[in-house]
Amino acid sequence: MKIKLKDAADFVGGIVIGNPELEITNIAKIEEAKEGDLTFLYLPAYEKYLATTKASAVIISPNFKKTRTDLSYIEVQNPQVAFQKIITTFLKPELKLKGIDSSAFIHPTAKIGENVAIGKNVVISENCEIGKNTYIYHNTVIMENVKIGTNTLIYPNVTIRENCVIGNNVIIHSNTCIGSDGFGYVLNEKNEYEKIPQIGNVVIEDDVEIGSNVSIDRAAFGSTLIKRGVKIDNLVQVAHNVIIGEHTAIAAQAGISGSTKIGKHCMIAGQSGFVGHIEIADGTIIGAQAGVSKSIKKAGKYRGSPAEEMSTQLRLEAHIRNLPTYLERIKKLEEKIAFLENKIFELTEKKGN
């Protein structure tokens, strides 16, 4: 990468403060940057590194003071977005997988689009359709009747089971399984579990990214649906017949039980869990380790287990933390009440005499 600071600033609509002819050769975190690097500052917690960073230039918001005159700056309203645009454009990783490896098995009935790259030991089963400009890395298994769109990237050891549909511009990271059986059983007359066949599929729409070690279960009937623009972190479980709305983001170790509907533009923090058959309103934010036990019909911020609206839950948490203090106060009040009751009893006895 080589780019002049003024060109980077023009690209993100920023203003150069310093040397516009400065040549940038790399991008790095502010605390690790070296000479020639471009970095960014958008969180107050990282402002302390501005005094010591060895970067040559910093993308910075107008809110931060440009205290060092030996640095150049690109001033923008949103440094994080600007930094992302520069990385995406100038440092996009090159995909080195080329062609179709001889060890790959492609069923004769499969349809492979133009410029598709397929790695070692990949299996593509009968009647699959793979769109153009798609990259499928090593040891991936694609079972019968799967349809994959264009410009999709599938990393090693992914399994996509029968009849699933993957859209365009999708990224699926290593060791993820799309279309595993849903957790469906019924107790028979002997009180033994019998499996309910899971005969649906998974549909993943365009522009979705799915992390590593994610399991998205196929529907019992119909489709488990991951809508356009959804981002799913590592180690997430999505159960059968779940629907996740457009542009919702789900952090690591979250679990969503069967037939739950998550709205669009939601943010779900790590280790949160959802019971089945509930609905979450569009634009809802769920805090880390929340336990969502009922539908949320009004968008807002929720946390705790069971999850409550954030301001309510924070008040409850404050009271829980103060329970030892409350206990002492209650003991003292009980002692005072007992003392007053004794006094009243004594006065009543005297008056009776």
Closest of 121, 129, 81, 79 to residue 102, by C-alpha = 121
Closest of 46, 50, 8, 49 to residue 26, by C-alpha = 8
Closest of 210, 238, 236, 213 to residue 225, by C-alpha = 238
> Which bin fits 8, alpha (ψ -120 to 50), beta or left (φ > 0)?
alpha
Distance CA 304, CA 317 (A): 9
Question: 341-344 long-range CB contacts below 8 Å, 24 or more apart?
Answer: none
Distance CA 299, CA 127 (A): 43
**Range list of H helices, 103-237:** none
276 within 8 A of 295, measured Cβ to Cβ: no
HSE-up of 340 (CA within 13 Å, CB side)? 6
- Beta sheet of 26-27, edge-to-edge order: 15-17, 72-75, 57-60, 37-41, 26-27
Element (H, E) at 342: helix 323-352
Helix axes 323-352, 310-321, angle to 10 degrees: 60
Dmax (CA) for the chain in angstroms is: 110
Backbone angles phi, psi at 150, to 5 degrees: -90, 160
Assess whether 173 carries a catalytic annotation: no
How many C-beta neighbours within 10 Å does residue 3 have? 18
The one catalytic residue in 107, 138, 173, 240 is 240
Q: What is the DSSP letter of 14?
A: -
Lookup: tokens for 331: 């003991």
229 within 8 A of 246, measured Cβ to Cβ: yes
Closest of 142, 140, 147 to residue 125, by C-alpha = 142
Q: Which residues are catalytic?
A: 240
